[in-house]
Structure 1
Amino acid sequence: MHTVSPWSTTVQLDIENSALLLERKILDYSYQFYNTGDSFWIVVITPQNRKIAFRAAFGMNSCFEVVNLFDDGDTIVIALNSKLGSYEVRVDFPNTTKPLLHYTTTFTANVSLMIPFWPRDIIPLTEDGSVENTTGKIHMEQFGSRSGLIFASITKPATGSFFYFQNLTSLSEYCEATETESKNAVGGTWPEIGFQLPITDKLPLPSGKSFIISDAYVVLEAETIEETPAICEHFLNNLVNIYKAIPQSKIEYHDWPDIAQKSLTDLYHSKGAWTQTNGIPYLNAYLCDYETPSESMVQLAVLTPYKEYENWKGEKHPIYSDIISGLPAFYDPKINCINRWLPALADKLDQSEEQKKEMVMDSWYLHHPLMNLARLALDGEKTAKKLLLDSVEYVIKVAHHFKYVWPVFYNMETLETIKKETAPGAGGERDVAGAYAHLMLLVFKLTKEKRYLNEAKKAAKTLTALGINILYQANNTAFAAGALLELYKITQKKLYLDISYTCLTGLFKNIQLYDCKYGYGKNYTNFFSVFPLNDAPYTAAYEELEVYAALSEYFIQAKDVDILPSLRTLIPEFIKYAINRIAYYYPPMLPKEMLSEEVKTGEIQSDLWIPLEDLYNGWQQSGQVGQEVYGAGMAFGIVSRQYIKIDEDFLLFIDYPLTTPHKRGKSVAIHLDGDKDMSYNLKIIKLKGNKIQMKVFHENEILKPFMKNAKMHEYNISGFGLIKVQW
């Protein structure tokens, strides 16, 4: 039996003793409406005659009077009055082919109110008994600023599952007026779960103005879900059902080729981005951080996307030779592997953090620079190939020592574990096995030696034990998803595809699927952003770039695989919004008042096109960690993936994960194999020379631009079909 609060104890009896105001049937589900005094309830009756109640309005210290009830067959509107103010509950069913409920509640206070408490809005009911006797399993819930969702199964009585989503964009005006935040708004302890309106402790809710205080979507399922593959599939499918029903954020185009050029200029010429050791230039991790020794990860995090950009642009720049010349010095003969820190400066480590000690390795840091060396080696870079192959035996030795389950920190010489778990009982860096598998597959491509493929298989199988808590760091989880997809393509073993879906579930439950339009968050769009860690309070530039790049590649590699249809919606949509959003990591894109005056590492120069590490929602300033030099490859990675050079005079841009475009004569063909119901942006951009005189076809039907001027023609295109551009 569960302990419950007074706001839930009598819910079952209150509903049973109240008059039914209205009933609506959709598919096999019934939706009943009750006024129980201080609460207005929507009770859902499932096909198995089980019940779950949703509190659409709460009267606080007052009782409701129903003053109007309107039902036109599409929308139900209930007007409620109380001594404290007036409420309006609007209910609709956005998709009549699925049991999808949507209700929005607005409140207008008669007097300015402080709101010190608000009950949760979901209560499971019993046929004969009380709510404290119900049991259930919460599969996922909101943490911090992530999406306001809860996904759960009710196991007693066996009611089925539900996916609840609170559209927190709608709460922005409330948060702005009361200086509250929508963090951790959806969750709770069984059986009192769901959304809790942020309590006011600074400013009262103003009187006389209408505020949305709930905007909820609920998908109901008859099935009780237990196993990880089913949890992942249902989560992804339900997320798409909700996504297609909610209002989506406006798309904003940024001139990424121009940003890339500005970023390259500032990166190369800013003295704060560089330091020198033995006459060789090295990139700092953060702008003006001259105290921390150079890191191999930092050099390669910029060099690899820059190489992609150089290949795209067809022009060389001295930054490439400057960075590549310093890489061999990271090779440490004491371990026969490249080190995180420049060995020549190991005595300069200040030991201020656990990893800032000689020979202490943060597990994912061992693999990350080697992945980038492998990518460069596959592109023909000989220095990278030598360093990679000279280091890979050590990496395998470490994997065998830890049996493919890595701790957080270990000693690189002795392999002694220094820190085993991220938190008691939470395990180590869980997704490193996936990053290791990704690295082994890259080395397999390079060498064709099957032992690397076998290593990838062994590491990947250890991920099955982790369930939906697979994510440690988002970019590594994204690389793991791609590696597992590749293993599935090689072996045709569904196990690998299932684990791949688990990785993607870990990513998509770690996103912010709303726009924070209050506080400093209203200065930039943050819809569909992804957090770097499960508990990170901010989104981070470099991790977002790598997730974007990894999911782009995933989608390309999945073109011949029968992946879940939900992924053909979610991945291209993430790509579309990533291209839109991540320009706001650059300080020149932001008002100076939202930049932190205190910086943990280095300093911020707000005129430089070098990204901030950290963007916060709401009332916190951004850039608290520093200006992230190792994130400076962001624009390089986007330009090389989203722009096609037609000739010297024109560019083609599309905010969709591009498979290899097929150029033939004076035409280019692009195959889109996503969701036909979603739309994307295609732009023909004039650089110089002649007028834009091109035709765009979708499945042989000519498209008209929705906007055109002398410099750009813009088209909306479906997420599925063949696009052809002719000139």
Structure 2
Amino acid sequence: MGSVKADTLLFRSIHSIIQFARTVNYDFPVFFAYDGYRKISGSEPDVAGGYAYLMLACYDLTDNSLYLDEAKKAIQHIRGKGLNLSYELQMSGAAVAAGGKLYRITGDADYLKLSYLALANIMRHCWIWESNYGTAVDYSTFFGMSPMPSANVITMKEQYETWDYLREFLNTAGPELPADFKILLQGFIDYTPNVLFYSLPPNLPEGARWTSKSVYDSQNDNSMYIPYEDLRDGWRKSGQIGQEIYGAGGVLSIAAVLKTSVEEAGEKRMPETIVLHQNFPNPFKTITTILFDVLPDNRSRKRMIQLKIYNTLGQEVRHLRKGQTAPGSYLFQWNGMDQTGRYLPGGVYFAVLSSANQTIRKKIILMR
């Protein structure tokens, strides 16, 4: 695998974890004593899924069936938990991904059912509505996720980790998933970057930020792009719990994944002449940004490019760009108005970018 010291440290740690899991019979406690792995109190049922995911990662590294067998045993312990599986939602996300991997390895569809159970628990705690009241008129909470069943907030760390697990599950088990499951998964994946954008204090309207000391007696620095531990709805100011250092890497992780995805997609579809990116934010209420690229061809010449907004009836409502356009990146903003300056009703619209030989469409959701 690489460094002998790293291998030794990793697998000594792993075997201690296996010993602990077997001692507690895969019913992981909230509090326990290190000496003898004695359970003190509490239970985190979804950690059995996180443990299964860890064992599968070890199996991928070593091809040792010991780890595969551990994963199979552990994930059975989420069975029967119904909608009370989740303790921390990112562990439920790991359970979803672990079930998908086990299904892919074994062909046993029962593992997919266990993934569905964990996914149902995640969706139970998602904000599948828009908090378009109070200060949230100027930011989005749609498809945010509470980090724990008892926490009525949105948190960077838990949601971006869950986002990564669900992306993996969709790639692993996607062809076999029912259509409605795919819609839910894709909704969570598409909207998570938009929601978490607003967990960064400078991106929130000033009136939505907590300026007093946090519940932990810390003071927020609202000029720094360190996420709040609590993005809230429009009636409550965000940041009352403080800023989370351990979630600060979420933005970089999501950005790296999205950038790689765009580059890979571009490689697969070459030769393209234009690329239309998803507008941001989406959904939006007051203004949204649309970015497109004109790619150089072998002559790097200007081309006729048009960017228009259409409604669901196929009617053009706004013309944002028409003209000869040189290779490069271009940014336009749309304020939800039609060509005459009238506010359009809330609903679904489409940004359509076209050149002489290519047309690309992206869905835009306008909230009113």
TM, length-normalised to structure 1: 0.38
Match of 2:187 among 573, 580, 583: 573
Aligned to 2:330: 712
Aligned to 1:391: 13
Gaps of 5+ in 2: 273-282, 284-288, 306-317, 333-349, 353-357, 361-368
Aligned to 2:24: 402
- C-alpha contact (below 8 Å) 1:549/1:637 kept by paired residues: no
Aligned to 1:477: 92
Aligned runs of 1:505-544 on 2, under 5 Å?
A: 505-544=120-159
* Cα distance change of structure 1 residues 386 and 606 upon mapping to structure 2, 3 Å threshold: farther
Aligned to 2:54: 439
Match of 1:639 among 247, 255, 258: 255
Aligned runs of 1:467-616 on 2, under 5 Å?
A: 467-559=82-174, 561-596=175-210, 597-601=212-216, 602-616=218-232
Decide which structure has greater helix share. Answer: 2
Aligned runs of 1:94-113 on 2, under 5 Å?
A: none
For residues 146-189 of structure 1, the C-alpha deviation after alignment (integer angstroms, 9 at most, x for no partner) is xxxxxxxxxxxxxxxxxxxxxxxxxxxxxxxxxxxxxxxxxxxx
> How many angstroms does 1:612 deviate by?
0.8
- C-alpha contact (below 8 Å) 1:707/1:713 kept by paired residues: no
> How many angstroms does 1:406 deviate by?
1.1
> How many angstroms does 1:640 deviate by?
1.9
Structure 1 position 413 matched with structure 2 position 17:
no
* Cα distance change of structure 1 residues 572 and 393 upon mapping to structure 2, 3 Å threshold: same
For residues 237-270 of structure 1, the C-alpha deviation after alignment (integer angstroms, 9 at most, x for no partner) is xxxxxxxxxxxxxxxxxxxxxxxxxxxxxxxxxx
Aligned runs of 1:296-375 on 2, under 5 Å?
A: none
Does the residue aligned with 1:414 lie in a helix, a strand or coil? helix
Does the residue aligned with 1:663 lie in a helix, a strand or coil? helix
Structure 1 position 451 matched with structure 2 position 55:
no
Q: What code does the residue aligned with 1:631 have?
A: G
Gaps of 5+ in 1: 1-376, 422-427, 646-651, 654-659, 669-678, 696-704, 718-722
Q: What code does the residue aligned with 1:612 have?
A: Y
Root-mean-square deviation (CA, aligned residues, Å) is: 3.5
Q: What code does the residue aligned with 1:712 have?
A: Y
Q: Distance in 1 between matches of 2:32 and 2:64?
A: 29
Q: Distance in 2 between matches of 1:554 and 1:624?
A: 33
* Cα distance change of structure 1 residues 572 and 691 upon mapping to structure 2, 3 Å threshold: farther
- C-alpha contact (below 8 Å) 2:104/2:172 kept by paired residues: no
Aligned runs of 1:19-58 on 2, under 5 Å?
A: none
Q: Distance in 2 between matches of 1:410 and 1:640?
A: 37
* Cα distance change of structure 1 residues 667 and 518 upon mapping to structure 2, 3 Å threshold: same
> How many angstroms does 1:522 deviate by?
2.8
- C-alpha contact (below 8 Å) 1:667/1:724 kept by paired residues: no
For residues 411-444 of structure 1, the C-alpha deviation after alignment (integer angstroms, 9 at most, x for no partner) is 122312221x2xxxxxx10100000000000011
Q: Distance in 2 between matches of 1:539 and 1:383?
A: 39
* Cα distance change of structure 1 residues 530 and 665 upon mapping to structure 2, 3 Å threshold: closer
* Cα distance change of structure 1 residues 555 and 603 upon mapping to structure 2, 3 Å threshold: same
Q: What code does the residue aligned with 1:406 have?
A: F
> How many angstroms does 1:591 deviate by?
2.8
> How many angstroms does 1:666 deviate by?
4.5
Match of 1:626 among 242, 249, 253: 242
Q: Distance in 1 between matches of 2:134 and 2:5?
A: 48
- C-alpha contact (below 8 Å) 2:291/2:329 kept by paired residues: no
> How many angstroms does 1:552 deviate by?
1.5
Structure 1 position 684 matched with structure 2 position 292:
yes
* Cα distance change of structure 1 residues 472 and 591 upon mapping to structure 2, 3 Å threshold: same
* Cα distance change of structure 1 residues 536 and 389 upon mapping to structure 2, 3 Å threshold: same
Does the residue aligned with 1:667 lie in a helix, a strand or coil? coil
Q: Percent identity?
A: 29
Does the residue aligned with 1:539 lie in a helix, a strand or coil? coil
Q: Distance in 2 between matches of 1:687 and 1:381?
A: 43
Aligned to 2:346: none
Q: What code does the residue aligned with 2:58 have?
A: V
> How many angstroms does 1:619 deviate by?
2.2
Aligned runs of 1:226-241 on 2, under 5 Å?
A: none
Q: Distance in 2 between matches of 1:640 and 1:665?
A: 20
Q: What code does the residue aligned with 1:510 have?
A: H
- C-alpha contact (below 8 Å) 2:143/2:191 kept by paired residues: yes
Q: What code does the residue aligned with 2:39 have?
A: T
Aligned to 2:310: none
Decide which structure has greater strand share. Answer: 1
Match of 1:663 among 255, 267, 273: 267
Q: Distance in 2 between matches of 1:406 and 1:504?
A: 20
> How many angstroms does 1:692 deviate by?
7.8
TM, length-normalised to structure 2: 0.73
Does the residue aligned with 2:32 lie in a helix, a strand or coil? strand
- C-alpha contact (below 8 Å) 1:435/1:479 kept by paired residues: yes
Q: What code does the residue aligned with 2:292 have?
A: I
> How many angstroms does 1:496 deviate by?
0.7
Does the residue aligned with 1:711 lie in a helix, a strand or coil? strand
Aligned to 1:213: none
Larger CA Rg, structure 1 vs 2: 1
Aligned runs of 1:131-170 on 2, under 5 Å?
A: none
